[in-house]
Amino acid sequence: MEINKNIYENTEVIKDYRSDSDSEDLYVVMKGALETQRTRNKKTSETNSPRSRCYRLTAVCLCLLCVLLLTVIIVLWVKLQTTYNSLTAERDQLKRKADVCCHESKEEASRQGWRYFNSSMYYVFTGRKNWNESRQDCRERGADLVIINSREEQEFLSQHLGSSQAWIGLTDTDSEGVWKWVDGTALTTGYWSSGEPNSLVGDEDCVVYDFGPNTTWNWADYPCTRNFIWICEKTFFC
Ligand code: 2F8
Ligand code: CA
């Protein structure tokens, strides 16, 4: 500050005693230098004020916080990615194991005489049982009484499986006239024999498939307590 003051005073002196163009130039240069110095001094005092120190501190803190947050995010992302990768690998391995197991079960069922059609395997069991006992037997074999979802399936059964009347997984026990499959789905297309269902002897709540000459329209309702052979179906997802 003292130096600036001197410069300024000297400048004034030079101004007073200027006599030619050189001293005029010197006066301009020194005045300019003085102004520059003044501006610098002002800036320095502003930068060193408590408020600006506080701003700087806040900015540094914010920067550190950002870096910290970024680090946390990166660490979490890497951890998440690692977990995702290991879970995916585990899932793929389980899928492969399940697939192998499924193929082995299919082969085993095939060796035992089950017939394959469109993701399912079928077997006609020739002991005679009522509808509930037949269903129970299927379930004990990891299957259920057959559910017929298409004309192809209906006709496949007649081509490949037996020559008698057999229980299928259709019943209206819960509500008379409302036919439901064993998986709880409603009957949409029925392949009833002519005149069926007729509840001829009173309560005929269960359905048989008649392995007769008609390979399509061959269902009839019968009392569930009657004994027939039965058709089980296992579905395979491999
Ligand atoms: O025993 C009941 C059963 O009797 C007949 O089949 C043998 C009836 N069929 C016809 O009348 C064509 C079934 O509808 C009936 O359930
Ligand atoms: Ca009937």
- What ligand has the least distance to the C-alpha of 201? 1
Phi, psi for residue 49 in degrees, rounded to 5? -70, 155
In order of 137, 143, 171, the CA distances from 163 in angstroms are 20, 21, 22
CATH superfamily of 115-235: Mannose-Binding Protein A, subunit A (3.10.100.10)
pLDDT value at position 125?
94
Model pTM above 0.75: no
N-term to C-term CA, the chain: 91
- Going from N- to C-terminal start, the domains of the chain cover 2-47, 115-235
204 lines ligand 1 (CB under 6 A): yes
Which helix (H) or strand (E) is 128 found in, with range?
strand 120-129
CA distance linking residue 212 with residue 214, whole number of Å = 6
pLDDT score for 193? 98
- pLDDT tens over the chain, length 238 residues: 444 444 445 444 444 544 555 666 666 666 776 687 776 766 666 667 888 888 999 999 999 998 999 999 999 999 999 999 999 999 999 999 999 999 999 999 999 999 999 999 999 999 999 999 999 999 999 999 999 999 999 999 998 766 789 999 999 999 999 999 999 999 999 999 999 999 999 999 999 999 998 999 999 999 999 999 999 999 999 9
Tell me the CA–centroid distance for residue 219 and ligand 2, in Å.
9
* CA 223–ligand 2 middle distance (angstroms): 8
My answer on whether omega of the bond before 50 falls inside 30° of 0, hence cis, is: no
Q: Is 222 in the pocket of ligand 1 (CB under 6 A)?
A: yes
Q: Is 196 in the pocket of ligand 1 (CB under 6 A)?
A: yes
